[in-house]
A and B are shown apart, each in its own frame.
Chain A
Amino acid sequence: MNSLLRFVFYGVFIRLVVLIVLGLNVRHRERLPKAGPAIIVANHNSHLDTMVLMSLFPLSLLPKLHPVAAMDYFLTSGFFSWFTVKVVGILPIKRTVSRGDDNPLAPCNQAIADGQLLIIFPEGSRGEPEQMQSLKGGIARLAESNPTVPVTPVFLHGLGKALPKGETVLVPFFCDVFVGEPLPWTGDRRSYMRQLDERMRQLAAEGNFPSWE
C-alpha cells in the first residue's frame, strides 16, 4: 500500500510538478548512476531539491532511492513522519551526536550495503536561498567507509527561487541541474572534501545565472 502511494506520489504528482510547473534544464544526465549502490551529492536550497533529484531517475529505481534527511526536522509528528518515511522515503539520521551514541552514519552504511541509492545534501540545511554554505564532513566519512561506491555531485539552481525556506507559495521557474563526474575516494577526508567542494564550484560555474537580490 505504502509503496503504491510512493509510486503515485513520485511517478505522477511530483513528475507533473517538476516537469510542467517547473521545467528542468539537465546537463550531462548520462553521468547519473544507473544502479545501486550509489551516492548523489547536491547543494540544498529548497524542499524541491529532493523532488527534482528523485524525478531524474527511472521509476524502476524508485524502491532503492532514498534521500538522507535530518531526524530532528522530519520525524516530529506522527502523520508527518509517516509521510516522510513511507511516502517520500527518507532515510532519517541524527544531525547532532552526543557522547556514547552509535555512529550516526550507520543507517547510511547499511543502506549502501543493501545496494540502495542515497541522496545527500552535505550543506546540512537549506540555508539562504541560492547561496551555497560550507559542506559538512559526513559525506567524506561515508565515502571512506565505502570507497568503491560512486559519489556523483549534482549542482541545482533555481529551486531556491521557486520555493525557498520559509515560503509556502511555489513560483514557477525553469531550474538547472548540472551533473558532475563521480568523485573517486582520495585517500583522506580533508582532500576529499576539498575536491568535492571544488567539483561543486566548477559545476556552478557552468551556468550563467541571472541576478536575484
Chain B
Amino acid sequence: MQFHVGTNVLVALGGLYGILLIASVWVAILRWSEPEKDRTELIQRVSSWWVIVSVFTAAMLMSRNVSVGFFAFVSFLALKEYFSIIPTRRADRRVLFWAYLVIPVQYYWVAQAWYGMFIIFVPVYVFLLLPMRMVIIGETKEFLRAAGTLHWGIMTLVFGISHIAYLLVLPEDKNPAGGSAGLVLFLIFLTEFNDVSQYVWGKTLGRNKIIPKVSPNKTWEGFLGGVATTTVLSVLLSSWLTPMSYQVALMAGLLISTAGFIGDVTISALKRDIGLKDSGSMLPGHGGILDRIDSLTYTAPLFFHFIYYLYY
C-alpha cells in the first residue's frame, strides 16, 4: 500500500500507538494495584486519546487535502464551542454565520498553497469586513466587545490553527527526512506531549505555584519539567521528522514548550472569565475541543513562522 507520507512519518505514527499502549497498560496496573481509587477521569482521558490519535492518523494518511479538511473541521468545532460559551449578541446571529464562512475560505487558501492570501486574509480582510457587517445591522450596544471577541476567536481558532495545515503544503523537498507531514506530526506530538509532561511533572514534584490567579494547579516544577522533557524530545526527533539541526531543534523545543504553556493558560483565563471548568463535553476526560487544542493555538503559528523563516 502506497501512502503519500514518508516512511519516517509512518514509523513515528506507529510510535504514537506504542505510547498509547504503554499508557493503557500503566492505567491497568494502577487499577489493579489500587482498585479502591476512583480513576474515571484518567481512564476516560486515555480512551479519548485513542480516539483522537486514530482519527488524526486516518486524516493524515488519506490524502493531503483530506488532512487540510480535517484541520478545517477542527477549526469549525473549536469556533462553534467558542461561540457557544461566550456571550454573544442576538443582533449578531448573521455576523456569526459569516464568521463560520471564514473557515472554508481560509483553508481554501491553504489547499491552494497561496501563502500571501493565507497570511493576510483573516488579519486584514476579515478584521475589516466583519465589523462592517455589524454596522450594517446597526446595533451599537456592546459593539466593541462583540467585535473584539469575534475577532479574537477567529484569529486563534481559524487563523492560528490553519498554520498547522499550511505546514502540509510547504515544499516537500526542503524536508527530505519527514516531508511536510513530518512537521505536522512533530508540532502536534511535541505540543500535546508537553501538556502531558507538564501535568505529570507538576503532579509528582509541584510545589511553587506559577500563575495562581489564572490556573491554581500549574507549578514552576511542572512548567520547567515540561520544558526540559519537550526540548530533549525535540532534539531527539528533529533529524527523523524535520530539516532542523540539533541547535535549531533545541530552540524549537524551548519555543514549543513555552508557547504551549502560554496557550494553555490563555484559554484557562478565558474559561475563568466565563466561569467554566471545561469548555465542553466532546472529549470525555479532557472536556471540550478547546481544552485539547488550547496549547496549539500558540504553538502552531509560532512554530510555523520559526521554521518558515529558517528553512523555506
Chain A interface (Cβ < 8 Å from any Cβ of B): 23, 25, 129, 158, 161, 164, 167, 169, 171-174, 208, 210-213
Contacts and interface: CB of A to CB of B under 8 A. Distances in A.
B269 to A, nearest CB: 16
B86 A210 contact: yes
A25 B88 contact: no
B240 interface: no
Interface stretch (B58-66, B163-171, B272-280): B272-280
Contact of B77 (A23, A25, A164): A23
Q: What 4 pairs across the A-B complex have the smallest Cβ distances? A: A174-B84, A211-B87, A210-B87, A173-B84
Contacts of A164: 93
Interface of B: 76-77, 80-81, 83-90, 93-94, 96-97, 100, 274-276, 280-282
Which of A25, A158, A174, A211 has its CB near the most chain B CB atoms (within 10 A)?
Answer: A174
A210 B281 contact: no
18 contacts: A25-B280, A25-B281, A129-B90, A164-B93, A167-B93, A169-B93, A169-B94, A169-B97, A172-B76, A172-B83, A172-B100, A173-B80, A173-B84, A174-B80, A174-B280, A208-B276, A210-B274, A213-B90
A45 to B, nearest CB: 12
Contacts of A174: 80-81, 84, 280
A171 B96 contact: yes
A158 B89 CA distance: 13
Nearest to B279: A174
A30 B274 CA distance: 29
B90 A212 contact: yes
B97 A212 contact: no
B88 A210 contact: yes
Nearest to B86: A210
A39 B86 CA distance: 34
B80 A172 contact: yes
Contacts of B81: 23, 174
Contacts of A172: 76, 80, 83, 100
Contacts of B100: 171-172
Given A208-B276, A213-B89, A171 B84 contact: no
A23 B282 contact: yes
Nearest to B100: A172
Contacts of B87: 210-212
A23 B87 CA distance: 18
Nearest to B89: A213
Given A210-B274, A212-B90, 12 more contacts: A23-B77, A25-B281, A129-B90, A171-B94, A174-B84, A208-B276, A210-B85, A210-B86, A210-B88, A212-B88, A212-B89, A213-B89
Nearest to A164: B93
Nearest to A173: B84
B88 A23 contact: no
B143 to A, nearest CB: 13
Nearest to A23: B80
